[in-house]
Amino acid sequence: MAAQTGLAAPAPVIRSDVPAFRPAVLSAEAAPFAPLGTDGWRLGSPSDAEKQFSRCAARLRALRADSGQLREELNLLFDQLLSENYNRAFEPNINIRPEEVCSLLRHTSGLVPLSQEHLVVKLCQLVHHLLNQLKVIMDEKTLDVLVNYTTGALKACSSWTHSDVLLALSTIVYGNGPQCHQHLSHLLGEDGVLLLYSSPTQPNMELRRVALTCMANICLRMPGQPPLDDQYRSVSFSVFLKTLQSPKPPNTDELFYCMVVQAALKGLQCCLSGGKWKFGGAEELGSVLASLKRLMFQGAPGVNVEWPAVLYPAPLPQYEGLSAPKPAEAPKPSETQRDATGSGKNSGNKKRKSRGKGKKTSTEESRGDDGEENDREAVPVLQKVGGRDGGQVEAESLTKLSAPSLYPSWKRTSSDSEFSDPEGSAQCKLRLYHGRVRQGALHCLLAVAKGVEKRTLYGYWSSFIPDSPPIGGPPPLTLLTIILKDPSPKVRACALQVLSAMLDGSRQFLAVAEDTASPRTSYTPFSFLLATAVRELHRALSLALLAETSPQTLTQVIKCLAYLVANAPYHRLRPGLLSPLWKQMRPYVRHRDVNVRVSVLTLYGALVTTQAPLPEVQLLLRQPEGSNSSSAGSFTPKDSALSWRQRDSVSSPSRTSPTPSPRGPRTPAEEDSSPPWLLQLCVSLVTQPREDQSDSDGGGTGGGLALEPSPVRLEALQVMSHLVRGYFSLAQACLCEIGQVSARCLGETDPSIQLHGAKLLEELGTGIIQQYRAENNVPESSRVPMSQVVLFWSEVLSGPLNRALQNEQHPTLQTSACDTLSSILPQAFAQLPDKTQLMCITVLLGLTYSENYLVKTAAVRALGVYILFPCLREDVMFVADTANTILAALDDRSPNVRAKAAWSLGNLTDTLIVNMESVGVDFQEELSDMLLLKMLQAATRASADKDRVKSNAVRALGNLLHFLRQSQLSRAVFQRPLEDAVRALVKTVQSEATMKVRWNACYALGNAFRNPALSLDSAPWSSDAFSSLCHVVTSCKNFKVRIKSAAALAVPSHRGCYGDMERFSCVWRSLAKALENSEDTNDFLEYRYSASLRHTLSQALLHLLSLSQQQDMPALGASLEGEEGRAIKEHLIKYVRAEEGGGEAEQGEKEAGGDSSTPQQRVGGLQQTLIRLKELQAEAEEERGKEVVVQFLEDLLKSCEEP
């Protein structure tokens, strides 16, 4: 087929031209041995491959299509190029430019005519060889030339060449599918060559495999590239799915079939990755999930079930039915015999142990899954040699219960095996390929879990997660089956990743789970099924934790547990799930693998974060470190695997427990005051030197002074932050110690450590603030003493926090330091030295001019917090400086800065209202009129910004309109800005903005109505303001906005504020109509506010009656007589009797200008209104309306006074 390469025969063994080697000293520091060639170059050096490539490339470029002996030359050069190894793993310093490869391939493709099929095959092999080994990224011209050539070869050449042509094409199109759009119709269109060769009816399995691989590479999406056209993605998806669904053809080798399935799985994964599900509805999704579930157990021993073709979403689990054994697949007698006897022989145990030792050779490790399969075999042996009786009993029982299923028959080899060596090798290879199929199916399932909406995927949970432990009969085949029983650690890790993806974000779904009450006997509620599933997940993952020996898979087990803990509703479940897990994890904090240690800390962080504070976790945190010694025996077997340094020698006592054992029994008082064990552990991990330096993380060898690796320290700091946030009452005993840890971290050079130290300080400050808030009702004796708080912040502010605030090289650290400053307790800030207070304010004012928007945002927010401090809010100079800074930030180009500036401006205007009520006119007079005008104009402009800016801008407008005095409003310079401000509020109320924005706008109008200096009766904007509120109170879908608009309409305290009779009657009709429709809603979430809405509307109607005059009587009388009046009276009776309403309504009443009143006070108000109306002098028409109103009030009072 090919011409001879012309290479010389091997030289004799003894050669005189080889230079003599100089003697070298053998030592650990000596350079690796590398023999020299005859020319002095090192053998196998990069220059050999590069020189060979350059020589062959130059000769190929010199060839022309009409050259003599072209075929022989091409044969020779192709063979020489194919004989070289260009793999950078073998030649790390190889330097062949991609441009040279592309130019060579373009030129060579023009030299080989499609009629020379042997040369076409060699060229295709060369294309695959060079592009694959050199990882060449082709330019568009080369891509087009090579795709044209290979597609032409598929048309013109014989079918025997197509396997190599498709292999080259798959390499060419790898990640370049969208760039090959002009060729896709020929490849993937109707009757396309790839569809022809990938069809399940294709008898040539190699062609089928390569065609599927080619399609997968076309569908592969590289980062930054557009996806493949949906038309061709759908075609490819259908082919891949049909391949997975089709049975193995008869007389087909199992290995070849596995390779075809692997290619289809890879293609399916490429179709599913990087986007949402776009391949049909529930039927298609169910078909994909059914196929993937079947392939998850490909080659798994003992699995012989009838798999459904489609999985349907259902709240109840689907169980696979047992199928009748097929005669063609009956096991061999030798295998049956081993199934019955293999597990109980000592010789089998010895054999497994010896194989476990041999797995560390390079040959075994290079085999991937096969090389790690034997990790599981050592588990029973390790558990049986535990040093404590309790551990030995549990290990033996676990081995007796689980060994038959954990260790399949084909792993229980013996010395009298009936397999010959070739047969054994074939069996190993088949197991390897089956493992790859299972791994590929799980990768696809992971892509499905990430691409399908969570809500849709929940319906299929029962097919992959059991809702009960296996009790009699065959257990369901789920992800947990793979996690516990699959022999390949890589497959187990993939199953854990899928389970983690399914659990991630499932909090809303799992929130329904509950088993605190006994289930009904007639039926099992869905909430109880979910709770059982959570318990089964805990049970299975705990077993996996005990049995797992692969560090990589062990890390995945712990991460999966962290996802479960973060999403499960433990406050709705019976206690007892977290305590075993908490104690089971303790030995792993000193595991030899750094990734395991990090994942353990992540799990502990999830434990102290989920629904904090949980009573069960509180009890666990209060337990001293040695309190679980009685139950530690159950984990002794694992200790022997974890304490790997203790296997051959006696270890130090510090290795047997994470922290030093307690001195002796503690009293209850000592246990309450002692810091939590977890907090002590994290402090030691952050600050103490490592106990040894031979860790697998490759730490330093400098003799015991090196700290833990950075990932461990960062995770420990995060756990401390979570602990302080959720369980501050337990952590406050170590306030000073935690502060010292934070200060130490801030003083280090690693920015990540500094950042986490600052965040820990922020959590401490926030915890102290929460304790001192009146609404939390924390007793004085349980709070951190004020003197200790002041001392704490004095030390923090005099330490390295100042350097962090001024560290311009790390803006994120500056941002976190600003957040830390804003978490100082206001009462403690007042007791700090004046120079310390001045330093904080000066630094924050200066950082608002930072070039980095994150720093500016944090500084502006911190000023918005400081402006509320009682010791600062009355300082006119500070208020003015802060206002000017905020006004400058409101014009920033960053929306984040503007949003925080608007929030701070809202806080500042809140302060103005507080000062107006507490200090009085003096404060108003000291504040500059021009500054107030600027604030009013800036807030008006901000009300037209994005919603997150607008929501606080309208709040500030309401406060400013409330704050302005008559002397300021009468000035001409205020007239236009005042009108613009009110119209901005009206526009926001009527807009389609978010409900929070409209709620704030209604509140702002009500706030403005409280200012007696505003002429509501005659102002040109007054009519629009009332009209907008009347429209919202009757038509807005959001009941909270309706409540706020009704409260605003009830704010004016004089009849004249409502304007003429027409406007007053419009307000009345709007409130009456809103009361009539207070239960009309299509949103169940809004219905819960209907009682509060009726409460506020009733209060507003009675307020209008209390202000009404004789000219209003005709309209009021017309409304109160008849059916409408009877409906209004029913609601008012409930209001006066306080039969409904509550939190939201009372809040609305307070903001409407009154305090929460008792039923007696409301009856008294009605009586005063009735007396006043009887004294009104009315004309004939007004008298008729007056009589109706008086009669209405008398009937109302009579009904309210009845028992």
State the DSSP string of 423-480: HHHHHHHHHHHHHHHHHHHHHHHHHHHHHS-HHHHHTTHHHHS-SS---SSPPP--HH
- Residue 967: pLDDT above 60? yes
1001 φ/ψ angles, rounded to the nearest 5 degrees: -70, -40
Between 413 and 766, whose confidence is greater? 766
**Mean pLDDT, residues 690-696 taken together:** 57
Looking at the predicted structure, is the pLDDT value of residue 1125 above 80?
yes
Residue 1146 neighbours by CB distance under 10 Å: 17
For position 334, what pLDDT does the model report?
39
Residue 976 above 80 pLDDT?
yes
Smallest Cα–Cα separation from 1178: which of 1121, 1115, 1109?
A: 1109
Contacts of 930 (CB under 8 A, 6+ apart): none
Query: Residue 876 pLDDT > 60, yes or no?
Result: yes
Q: Percent of the chain beyond pLDDT 90?
A: 48
CA 43 to chain centre: 51
Give the per-residue pLDDT at 521.
Answer: 65
The confidence score (pLDDT) of residue 104 equals: 92
The chain-wide mean pLDDT, for the chain, equals 80
Specify the amino acid at residue 1153: G
Rounded to an integer, the average pLDDT of 869-880 is: 93
CB 376 within 8 A of CB 407: yes
pLDDT of residue 37: 41
* Phi-psi label, residue 280: left if phi above 0, alpha if psi -120 to 50, beta otherwise: left
- Quickly count helices (H) and strands (E) in the chain: 61, 2
Residue 847 has pLDDT above 50, yes or no: yes
Q: How much is the pLDDT for 627?
A: 52
Q: What's the pLDDT tens digit per position in 134-163? A: 888 888 899 999 999 999 999 899 989 999
DSSP 412: -
DSSP, collapsed to helix, strand or coil, labels residue 317 as coil
Q: How confident is the model at residue 525 (pLDDT cuts 50, 70, 90)?
A: confident
- The alpha carbon of 894 is separated from its chain's Cα centroid by a whole number of angstroms, namely 26
Confidence label for 526 from pLDDT (cuts 50, 70 and 90): confident
Q: Is the link from the previous residue into 895 a cis peptide, with omega within 30 of 0?
A: no
- Residue 349 — pLDDT band, cuts 50, 70, 90? very low
Is residue 399's pLDDT more than 80? no
Instruction: Give the list of residues 6+ apart from residue 1046 with CB closer than 8 angstroms, or none.
Output: 1033, 1071, 1074, 1093, 1096, 1097, 1100, 1148
Residue partners of 722: CB distance under 8 A and separation at least 6: 605, 608, 609, 612
User: Of 896, 799, 899, 887, whose CA–CA distance to 855 is shortest?
Assistant: 896
Does the pLDDT value for residue 985 go beyond 90? Answer: yes
E strand or H helix at 1188, and its extent?
Answer: helix 1180-1201
User: For position 883, what pLDDT does the model report?
Assistant: 96
Q: Is residue 818 a contact partner of residue 805, using CB atoms and an 8 Å limit?
A: yes
- Which residues touch 623 (CB under 8 Å, ≥6 apart)? 671, 677
Determine the Cα–Cα distance for residues 819 and 798; give it in Å rounded to an integer: 17
Q: What's the pLDDT at 388? A: 33
Task: Say which residue, 326 or 199, is predicted with more confidence.
Answer: 199
CA distances from 1072 to 1030, 1062, 1117, 1139, 1170 (A): 11, 15, 13, 19, 20
Residue-level pLDDT at 500: 96
What backbone torsions phi and psi does residue 314 show, to the nearest 5 degrees?
A: -155, 145
Q: State CA 1105 to chain mean position distance.
A: 55
Whether pLDDT at 341 is above 50: no
Question: Do 441 and 262 meet the contact criterion of CB atoms below 8 Å apart?
Answer: no
Q: How far is CA 856 from CA 115, 864, 888, 893, 956, in A?
A: 71, 12, 11, 12, 21
pLDDT band at 626 (very low <50, low <70, confident <90, very high): low
How confident is the model over 218-245, as a mean pLDDT? 88
Q: Is 37 helix (H, G, I), strand (E, B) or coil?
A: coil
Query: Per-residue pLDDT tens for 554-599?
Result: 999 999 999 999 999 999 999 999 999 999 999 999 899 999 999 9
Largest CA distance in the chain: 138
> What size, in residues, is the chain?
1203
Question: What is the C-alpha separation between 309 and 290, in angstroms, rounded?
Answer: 6
For residue 222, is pLDDT > 90?
Answer: no
Per-residue HEC secondary structure of 837-862 comes to HHHHHHHHHHHCCCCCHHHHHHHHHH
Q: Are strands 321-322 and 305-306 parallel, antiparallel or unpaired?
A: antiparallel
Rounded distance between C-alpha atoms, residue 409 and residue 486, angstroms: 13
Under the phi-then-psi rule, with left for phi > 0, alpha for psi from -120 to 50, and beta for the rest, what region is 274? left
Give the whole-angstrom CA distance, residue 936 versus residue 954. Answer: 10
Q: Is 192 helix (H, G, I), strand (E, B) or coil?
A: coil
The β-bridge partners of 42 are 36
Range with lowest mean pLDDT among 180-194, 198-212, 289-303: 180-194
Say which residues have a Cβ less than 8 Å from residue 648's Cβ, sequence separation at least 6: none
Contacts of 901 (CB under 8 A, 6+ apart): 860, 886, 889, 890, 892
Task: Give the pLDDT of residue 1018.
Answer: 83
Give the least confident one: 86-100, 1136-1150, 1165-1179.
Answer: 1136-1150
Phi/psi for 341 (5° steps) reads: -120, -15
42-to-80, 92, 134 alpha-carbon distances in Å = 20, 14, 21
Phi, psi of 617 (to 5 degrees): -70, -35
Distance between CA atoms of 356 and 372, rounded to whole angstroms? 9
pLDDT on residue 423: 59
Q: Which residues contact 611 (CB under 8 A, 6 or more apart)?
A: 569, 570, 571
Per-position DSSP letters for 74-134, written without gaps between them: HHHHHHHHHHS---TTT-TT----HHHHHHHHHHHHTTS-TT-HHHHHHHHHHHHHHHHHH
Report CA dihedral (335, 339, 340, 341) to the nearest 10 degrees. 90
Cβ neighbours of 1084 (radius 10 Å):
7
pLDDT tens column, 279-294: 777 788 999 999 999 9
Which tokens belong to 136?
């060449």
pLDDT at 401 over 70: no
**Choice between 656 and 455, residue whose per-residue pLDDT is larger:** 455
Q: How confident is the model at residue 373 (pLDDT cuts 50, 70, 90)?
A: very low
- Which residues are paired to 322 by β-bridges? 305
Neighbouring CB atoms inside 10 A of 254's CB total: 14
The three state secondary structure string of 1127-1172 is HHHHHHHHHHCCCCCCHHHHHHHHHCCCCCCCHHHHHHHHHHHHHH
Task: Output the DSSP codes for 585-604.
Answer: HGGGGG-SSHHHHHHHHHHH
305 φ, ψ (degrees, to nearest 5): -130, 160
What is the pLDDT, as a whole number, of residue 625?
64
Rounded CA-CA distance 526/509 in Å is: 11
Predicted structure pTM score: 0.78
For range 1146-1167, the mean pLDDT: 65
16-43 pLDDT, tens per residue?
343 443 444 433 344 444 444 444 344 4
378 CB-near residues (< 8 Å, 6+ apart): 352, 353, 356, 549
Cα 576 from Cα 278, distance rounded (Å): 42
For 683, half-sphere exposure in the C-beta direction (CA atoms, 13 angstrom radius) is 20
Mean pLDDT of 594-616: 94
Question: What is the Cα–Cα distance from 614 to 569, expressed in whole angstroms?
Answer: 10
Rounded to 5°, angle at Cα 993 from 989 and 995: 80
Name the band, by pLDDT with cuts 50, 70 and 90, for residue 358.
Answer: very low
pLDDT at 126 over 90: yes
**Can you spell out the DSSP letters for 740-780?**
HHHHHHHTSS-HHHHHHHHHHHHHHHHHHHHHH-GGG---G
Q: Residue 1191: CB partners within 8 Å, gap ≥ 6?
A: none
Specify burial of residue 124 (Cβ count, 10 A radius: 0-12, 13-18, 19+).
buried
